[in-house]
Structure 1
Amino acid sequence: MREVAVVGVGMSPFVAETTQSLREQTYRAGRAALDDAGLAFPQVQAVYMGYLWEPTMTGIRFLKELGLTGVHAQHVQNASATGAGAMLEAVRAVAGGHADVAMAIGFDDMNKIAGAGLSKNSAEGVILPAAFFALWAKQRQLDYGTTSETLARIAAKNWNNGALNPMAQRRPTSPITFEQILGSRMVADPLTSMMSAAVGQGAAAVIVTTPELARKYHPGRPTVLVKAAKMRTETMTEGHVFAGPVVGPQQMTRDTAQDAYEQAGLGPEDLDLVQVHDAFPIEELVYYELLGICPDGEGDKLVLEGATELGGRIPFSTDGGLIGRGHPGGPTGLAQIWETTLQLRGEAGARQVADPQVGLCHMVGGGSVCVIHILQRAD
């Protein structure tokens, strides 16, 4: 297996509504990634397109805007982890020698969501995401005494990180406080509307190649290596609940993280920043522990210490996460790669983490699936 490097990243802004067509947004994201890579589309040998809410042939139709080159192309779909899954396939194409240059591109308009294709007669079709994660939050309150204020502080952090990201859907003009978060409309106790992911539309793209080619195309720029690309579904355990609405058991993230750390030859102590599936702040809080950043039950302490804020020991959701940056669906996991790549290059502007070397990107998807990538800067 060959080493793999990120050579180009691109996004269109994530927005609630836009006058641009989704087709145009996708073209702009792909074009931005090509420009960032210093490549022309005919040099791309494989493309993996991630989307959820558009008709089956949409990906190929959108891809034609970039060129008619006979390129290998596949459609990837895995709920919220769709973009991350497309990235994993592009990485594997290069690592396995099937392509020297591969693109992952995702797009979606979550305003078009019409259910997740699940029967209303099943638990998965009845329990909506807000209710599901409210159950996580209630259990957490019982187990560890987590307060609504802790959840609100995570959400406020992500709103304020989004304000620093020109591609974010939510860009408040003044700092958001945890009191504002708590005072917003209740959705599913204890989760409020301002604790919920921003849904809208957008597109993102990532281009990967070998480190040798990445250095050839950009000899003066830090090379960002993909040290791990791992995916898991849930694993049978004693007393396993088979009806796993939304994202399934928490253990799936812990197991995938261990796989990724082993592949990368790194551990949680090596991470300088992390992006996670924070559709609601209870997720980010739980993932502090499942990713091994701190022992079980001590995530609340990280929040109160400010450890996961910009300038803290281990910043999370530096671009605003799903709460601040937004969550259109298909492109979300690729937006995480966009952010982490810019951070590792030192190109993240006002939200730049001080001299980061390693970043982790985590997405879960309904069904259930978890995808984790670990990126490392190689000067």
Structure 2
Amino acid sequence: MAGTAYIIGVGMTRFEKPETRDWQYWDMAKEAGGAALADAGIGYDAVEQVPVGYCYQASTAGQRAVYELGLTGVPVYNVNNNCATGSTALMMARQFVASGLNDCVLALGFEKMKRGALGAGADGGARGGATDVGGASSPVARHYGVMAAAHGFEMTPPTAQIFGNAAREHMARHGTTAEQLAMVGAKNHRHSAHNPYAQFRDVYTVEEILAARTVHRPLTKLQCSPTSDGAAAAVVVSERFVRAHGLAARAVEIAGQAMTTDTEESFATGSCIDVVGAPMSRAAARRAYEASGLGIEDVDVIELHDCFSINELLTYEALGMCAEGESGKLVADGATTYGGRWVVNPSGGLISKGHPLGATGLAQAAELVWQLRGTAGERQVPGARVGLAHNIGLGGAAVVTLLRR
């Protein structure tokens, strides 16, 4: 890309249990999008294009949501990339700006979900569930087919099952323990206690997490992300726009960004670790580091896709934070919380902050912008200058974004 893109405004709603509040998806979008515009100090009339991410609503729901912000006739793009939808919308906004096509783009993501575990059926397909695992009708049938061949298929939520089986593989290969998996949940619940936007703000001990209801062994309920309602947004602009409007004080640079999809490596080994996205995450991280000139050693704060506790451990390895098999020790040593080498998921992550699919990636960006501006309040990471966001969806897509202040 010829130019540099900056985030000058972010906003989000509180993430909530579905049906908690009597609102529609366009109400969420108005709240989050309006907050992002207010944070940027601009009006909607400055926005030239709007990529809008969601998985559960009907076609052109993006337009219906954006119309609450203004009726200016600008192009609206409806984006669906499973759990990586929000970061995909952000990446589109960056591409529009960095290419020189636009000076100001609003990336918006939202989701209004149903209560209960995500799994089979039409709605479950939004996050990777299969109506008939292995059936041709499911876009992720190949992924679940790999799991079924190695582990069989049980009557537990499909996404918990495929990630739970990845955890079993990691435990068998590397000696990772159930306690180390629970430490991820304990850390992220502890972090969320200071996040007013988080769906859950309760703190749990490792013992309480291990004693919670098992969803799919070894994963318990407190190690699994919930269904959530919510929205998030970011205003992405060019350097020219920053200068013209005197916005340097609030601008955060998108220093590098990359998206990858599945390759043969995802399926060739027959491993759930690979089929849930570890190869994609490694490749996306490598490309983002190359694009930015930064490495994991430069990063201070990380928001990553902890849809299940095992995925946080897998992502440590994919990002180069530790060698393969050493992620359990990394979390046990306190390297990924306050006082450690990095602070991972200061927001509480998906496990505790919540996971409205279309909003998740943009909420990660919002948290990092607040951290890099030094405005994150009680959860502020001291001296944070570089942040990394990792967002992944089965089917598949992995997006890694590096932000720099």
Structure 1 residue 330, shift from structure 2 partner:
0.3
After TM superposition, the score normalised by the length of structure 2 is: 0.88
| 1:227-242 alignment runs, 5 A limit | 227-237=255-265, 240=268
Residue 115, structure 1, aligned to residue 124, structure 2? yes
Quick one: which amino acid aligns to residue 90 of structure 2? M
**Residue 282 of structure 2: aligned partner:** 254
Q: Which residue of 1 aligns with 2:191?
A: 161
Deviation for aligned residue 1:97:
1.0
Q: 1:218 to 1:345 in 2, by over 3 A?
A: farther
Q: 2:86 aligns with which of 83, 87, 111?
A: 83
CA deviation profile, 1:226-275 (whole Å, cap 9, x unmatched): 01121111222497269989964411111111000000001111110111
Alpha-carbon offset, residue 221 of structure 1: 2.1
Alpha-carbon spacing, 1:306–1:220, altered in 2? closer, same or farther (3 Å): same
Q: Which amino acid aligns with 1:224?
A: V
Please tell me the residue identity of whatever aligns with 1:171: R
Amino acid across the alignment from 2:164 = A
Q: The residue matched to 1:105 in structure 2 has which SS?
A: strand
Structure 1: tracts of 5 or more residues without a match: none
SS in 2 for 1:225: strand
Once the two structures are TM-superposed, the CA of residue 369 in structure 1 deviates from its matched residue by 1.1
Mapping 1:351-362, distance limit 5 Å = 351-362=379-390
For the 8 Å contact 1:247–1:364, the answer to whether it is kept is: no
Q: Contact 1:277–1:284 (CA<8 Å) still a contact in 2?
A: yes
- 1:185-334 equivalences under 5 Å are 185-219=213-247, 221-237=249-265, 240=268, 248-334=276-362
* Alpha-carbon distance in structure 2 between the residues aligned to 1:245 and 1:283: 9
Moved more, 15-24 or 342-351: 15-24
Q: Give percent identity, aligned residues only.
A: 39
Residue number in structure 2 paired with 1:13: 14
Partner of 2:62: 59
- 2 CA distance for matches of 1:244 and 1:301? 21
TM-aligned CA distance change 1:244 to 1:153, over 3 Å = closer
The alpha-carbon deviation at position 111 of structure 1 amounts to 1.3
Residues 1:182 and 2:197 are matched in the alignment: no
1:237 and 1:351 map into 2 onto residues whose CA distance is 38
Shift of 1:86: 0.2
- Measure, in 1, the Cα distance between the counterparts of 2:28 and 2:270: 38
Supply the RMSD in Å over aligned alpha carbons: 2.0
User: Aligned to 2:378, what secondary structure does the other structure show?
Assistant: helix
Q: Does 1:344 align with 2:372?
A: yes
C-alpha separation between the residues in 1 aligned to 2:108 and 2:274?
Answer: 23
SS of corresponding position for 1:253: helix
| CA–CA separation in structure 2 for the residues paired with 1:68 and 1:240 | 49
Report the counterpart of residue 25 of structure 1 in structure 2.
28
Correspondence 1:133-144 to 2 at 5 A: 133-144=163-174
CA distance in 1, matches of 2:91, 2:242: 18
Stretch moving more, 41-50 or 111-120? 111-120
User: Is the contact between residue 6 and residue 253 of structure 2 (CA under 8 Å) also seen in structure 1?
Assistant: yes
1:211 CA displacement:
3.0
1:219 CA drift (Å) = 4.7
Q: 1:6 is paired with a residue of what secondary structure?
A: strand
Deviation at residue 77 of structure 1 after TM alignment? 0.7
Q: Give 1:122's aligned amino acid.
A: G
CA apart distance, 1:212: 4.2
Deviation at 1:217, TM superposition (A): 3.7
Cα distance change on mapping 1:368 and 1:242 into 2, 3 Å: farther
In structure 2, distance between residues paired with 1:215 and 1:190: 52
Aligned residue pair count: 375
CA contact (8 A) 1:46 1:72 kept: yes
Residue 20 of structure 1: CA displacement?
2.6
Tell whether 2:176 aligns with 1:146: yes
Q: Provide, for residues 354-374 of structure 1, a one-character-per-residue CA deviation record: whole Å limited to 9, x for no partner.
A: 111111101111111111110
Give the direction of change, closer, same or farther, for the CA distance of 1:217–1:199 in structure 2 (3 Å limit): farther
Kindly indicate whether the alpha-carbon contact (under 8 Å) linking 1:244 and 1:368 is maintained by their aligned counterparts in 2.
Answer: no
Work out whether 1:96 is the aligned partner of 2:115: no
CA shift for structure 1 position 162: 1.2
Cα shift at 1:119: 4.7
Name the structure 1 match of 2:77. 74
Q: TM-score, normalised by structure 1?
A: 0.94
Alignment partner of 1:330: what SS?
helix
Please say if residues 81 and 363 of structure 1, whose CA atoms lie closer than 8 Å, have aligned partners that are also in contact.
Answer: yes
- Counterparts of 1:258 and 1:135, CA distance in 2: 26
Q: What do the CA deviations read for 1:188-241 (whole angstroms, capped 9, x no partner)?
A: 000001111021100000001023433554557253100112111122249726
Say which SS state the counterpart of residue 67 (structure 1) adopts.
coil
User: Which one-letter code corresponds to 2:4 in the other structure?
Assistant: E
**2:257 aligned counterpart, secondary structure:** strand
Q: Match of 1:111, SS?
A: coil
- The offset of 1:159, in angstroms, is 0.8
Aligned amino acid, residue 193 of structure 2: A
Partner of 1:105: 108
Q: What is the rounded CA distance, in whole Å, between the counterparts of 1:63 and 1:219 in structure 2?
A: 24
Q: What residue ranges of structure 2 are gaps of 5+ in the alignment? A: 145-152
Q: Tell me the amino acid that sits aligned with residue 67 of structure 1.
A: G
Distance 1:226 1:191 in 2: 34
Contact 1:9 1:205 (8 Å CA) reproduced = yes
Give the distance between the partners of 2:331 and 2:271, measured in 1 at CA: 32
